[in-house]
Structures are given as C-alpha cells and as structure tokens.
C-alpha cells in the first residue's frame, strides 16, 4: 500500500474501527489503482460500523450522507477519507438514487450494489489480502470493463454509469464487455435523465484524464455521442482540403488534436473539441477546393450552445469561446501590425491558445512556423513593450471635452494602437493625437 499521508490516514481509520470490533476495508477505485500499481487520487473505507459508531470513534468526522451512511473523516494534516457503512440498495426510481438503503454487516452485500467489477474490490491494508466477490481481479488482468450482475439493471439504477463505463475503458485502455456494451447502446437515450452538471463532469474527465480519442470513439460506438453532443457527431465524414488536412475528415482531425494535448486544462480540452465545430454547418465544395466560409463564427455559436446546455460557468464559457474564436488568427501572426500582434499575444490565457494551435498543426499539416514565430516573439519582447502602461485614460478624454460614447472608445483604442506601433511614446504625444482625432471625429 502506498505510503502517502492520505494512505496512512485511511490505514489508521481502519485500525481504529477494527480495534473497536468492526470489520473495515479499503474499497473501490483506490483498491483498483493499488492493484494496478497506480497512486490513488483518494481513499475510501467501507465498514460494518454504523454511521453513529463511526462518528463516535473518529473525532472531527462529519456525516455527509446520512441516507447512505457516509461519513467524512479529516486528518490533522488536511487529508479526508470517506467512510461508508456496508449497505445494500433498494429500487432506484430516478435513475440516480436508491429509494432506500439497508445497512449490512457482510462486505459481499456492499460490493454487489456497485457499478463495475474492477471497482468492487476490497483490500485489507494490514494483510494485503484483496477480497474479490465479483471477478474484478480477473477483469483487471484481462483489461475488461464489466458491469456487476445484470448490466441493464446496473445502468437503470444509475444512468451515469454508462458514461463511467466509457471513461474507465478509455482511461485504462480496456474493452467494454459485450453484454455491458449492449446494455449501454440499448439504454443510451436515458442519459438525458441525468443532470447537465454530472454529464459535464464525466465528459470533462474523459477529455482530461488520458486517451480522449478512445473515449470519443466509444461514445460514438455506443450511440451516446449522438445523444449528448450531436454537433460533434456531425463532424464524421465532413471532408477537408487534403493539402491542409492530409489526416482526413473533421472528426479524425479533432480526435488527433485531443490526443496531442498534454495535461490540458478543462477549458483547453473543450476548446480543442469545439474549435472546428463550425465546419459541418459551413461545409461548401467550391470550384477550387472545399471551403468552410465563416466556420469560426459558426463554431463560436455552436460552442456557446453546448457550453450553455452543459451549464458551464460564464468564466469557463468565455475561455472556451475565446479559443474557438481566435484559433485561425495564428496564420496571420507574421503579417500582423505591431499593435494587432501585441494585443493578440497578450490575450488572457495565451498559453492555452498556443497549445491549441500547436496541437492543431501537429494534427494536420505539421507546419509550426506560426507557432514558432509567436513563441519567439513573446520570448524576445519585454513585458513593458507587450503591455505598456496606457498613456491616456478616460478621465483625460473627459478633460478634453469628450463625453463617453462610441467616439470615446475609438479614440482611446487609436491612441493605444499608436503607442503599440511605436509612433507615440509620451503623454503629450498621446494628448496631441487625441485632440486631432477629436476634431476629425
């Protein structure tokens, strides 16, 4: 067992529970990861102790799921471990929550209610013994995602498990077992009963945890992609000019891009997924070649619709939309005016724009000249040149007799452009230019 502080805290909780006479084990994803030789992101404990008994034994613990018998136990150094009482679930009525639960003393009953065999392992951290009641060790060895018991029943209990099956299969490069796959395909329309927030979280994890291309191929194969993101499904078969995109259609290009990103933020990953979402609705076969006139603007609209539907925050929506809106501007960086270039290079989160462009190039024509130009320009350009303090403010224009309005903004922008171009450098020069522009306006 890993010797992290979280692992040590989980081990101490199990020791405390056992000394009080209660069976207790590590359970779920942390056991799976330990068997695979991976460092778990968190640790969960399952026990025969009731929630009241757990609270009495673990100072500082708090009840976070009274209905489900879940207690959160923090350590003195800040790590938290979820401690859940063994339970069995009764019928599910909303595709997410059981109508009632029964606390159990037999760990076998607890794991039989879980989703997949590889997530139903129990580990005794003292002896190192793994308790496997569902064949999870075999499926880990064989690389299989298999629902416990009847797959249809598991997915009818919690529809989100369909997305979790896809995510685990992609993350671990496993195969979804045939009956489990068939159940997902048969029940895929029920995914609409799940909240947008839970769907967003699962899709984001697919995009950022590793092997996103495989995740989206599985989403397509199961029919879930058409249910959740028909705008992405529409990329399949949309041809591109081979001189710029020898890799193939928009779908292939997008999947290659997803896999080309290295440890992306959620915003960058969604930006990559959506950057060419405007191509399907703007596809046109012109006499000279295939064209996508206005695909950037169309892509921004498509992206906004998806991000709104999945209830992204406004800040995240703005960041993703900016990636979509600006991804084609790199082709002009070497020809931009100084003022335009500097404003482009100082876009918020420009490192994400760079990463998106690099992945875009490597997933198509592989020409990195614009990327290299931008990187080299940033490296040699001092911050005070890229972001010089403004020479004039709105108060200065008011002092010149201008009232706030469209002309007000145009003059401020023109003064800033002249400063960035290097044609003015002092406040007096900026004031003279503002006066001249006022007269012209």
Note the pLDDT of residue 426. 94
In CATH, which of 3.30.460.10, 3.40.50.300, 3.20.20.70, 3.40.50.2300 is domain 5-136? 3.30.460.10
pLDDT over threshold 60, residue 90:
no
355-376 pLDDT, tens digit each: 999 999 999 999 999 999 999 9
Note the pLDDT of residue 79. 85
Note the pLDDT of residue 351. 97
pLDDT over threshold 70, residue 12:
yes
Average pLDDT, the chain: 93
Q: What is the pTM of this model?
A: 0.91
Q: Quick one: what percent of the chain has pLDDT higher than 70?
A: 96
Which DSSP state fits 255?
H
pLDDT over threshold 70, residue 179:
yes
pLDDT over threshold 90, residue 96:
no
Q: If you average pLDDT over residues 73-99, what whole number do you get?
A: 77
- In 10 A of CB 76, how many CB atoms? 9
Q: If you average pLDDT over residues 50-68, what whole number do you get?
A: 88
pLDDT over threshold 80, residue 89:
no
Nearest Cα residue to 111 out of 164, 152, 145, 148: 148
229-386: what fold? Answer: Hypothetical protein af1432 (1.10.3210)
Pairing of strands 80-85, 144-145: unpaired
Which sequence spans correspond to the domains of the chain?
Answer: 5-136, 229-386, 394-440
Q: If you average pLDDT over residues 309-331, what whole number do you get?
A: 98
276-304 pLDDT, tens digit each: 999 999 999 999 999 999 999 999 999 99
Tokens, residue 231: 């705008």
397-427 pLDDT, tens digit each: 899 888 888 888 899 999 999 999 999 999 9
DSSP letter for each residue of 310-343: TT--HHHHHHHHHHHHHTTGGGGGGGS-HHHHHH
Length of the chain: 441
The C-alpha atoms of residue 57 and residue 318 are separated, in whole angstroms, by: 47
């Amino acid at each position: 067992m890993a010797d992290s502080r979280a692992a040590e805290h989980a081990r101490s909780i199990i020791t405390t529970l056992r000394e009080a006479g209660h069976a207790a084990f590590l359970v779920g994803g942390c056991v799976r990861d330990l068997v695979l030789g991976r460092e778990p992101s968190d640790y969960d404990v399952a026990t025969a102790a009731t929630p009241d008994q757990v609270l009495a034994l673990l100072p500082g613990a708090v009840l976070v799921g009274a209905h489900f018998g879940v207690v959160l136990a923090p350590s003195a150094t800040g790590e938290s471990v979820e401690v859940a009482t063994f339970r069995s679930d009764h019928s599910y009525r909303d595709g997410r929550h059981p109508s009632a639960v029964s606390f159990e003393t037999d760990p076998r009953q607890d794991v039989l209610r879980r989703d997949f065999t590889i997530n139903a392992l129990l580990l005794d951290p003292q002896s190192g013994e793994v308790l496997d009641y569902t064949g999870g060790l075999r499926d880990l060895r064989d690389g299989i995602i298999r629902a416990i018991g009847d797959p249809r029943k598991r997915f009818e209990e919690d529809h989100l498990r369909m997305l979790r099956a896809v995510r685990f299969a992609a993350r671990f490069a496993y195969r979804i077992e045939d009956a489990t796959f068939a159940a997902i395909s048969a029940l895929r329309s029920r995914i609409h009963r799940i909240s947008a927030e839970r769907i967003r979280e699962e899709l984001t994890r697919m995009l950022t945890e590793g092997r996103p291309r495989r995740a989206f191929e599985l989403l397509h194969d199961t029919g879930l992609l058409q249910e959740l993101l028909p705008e992405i499904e529409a990329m399949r078969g949309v041809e591109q000019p081979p001189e710029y995109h020898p890799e193939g259609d928009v779908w292939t290009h997008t999947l290659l891009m997803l896999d080309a990103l290295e440890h992306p933020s959620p915003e960058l990953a969604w930006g990559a997924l959506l950057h060419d979402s405007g191509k399907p609705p703007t596809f046109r076969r012109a006499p000279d070649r295939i064209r996508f006139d206005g695909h950037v603007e169309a892509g921004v609209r498509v992206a906004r619709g998806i991000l709104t539907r999945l209830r992204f925050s406004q800040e995240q929506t703005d960041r993703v939309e900016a990636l979509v809106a600006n991804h084609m501007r790199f082709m002009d960086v070497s020809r931009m005016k100084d003022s335009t270039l500097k404003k482009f290079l100082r876009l918020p989160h420009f490192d994400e724009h760079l990463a998106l462009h690099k992945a875009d190039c490597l997933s198509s024509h592989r020409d990195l000249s614009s990327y290299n130009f931008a990187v080299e320009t940033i490296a040699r350009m001092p911050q005070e040149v890229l972001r010089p303090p403004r020479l004039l403010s709105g108060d200065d224009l008011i002092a010149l007799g201008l009232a706030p309005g469209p002309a007000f903004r145009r003059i401020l922008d023109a003064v800033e452009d002249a400063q960035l171009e290097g044609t003015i450098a002092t406040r007096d020069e900026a004031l003279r230019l503002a006066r001249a522009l006022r007269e012209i306006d």
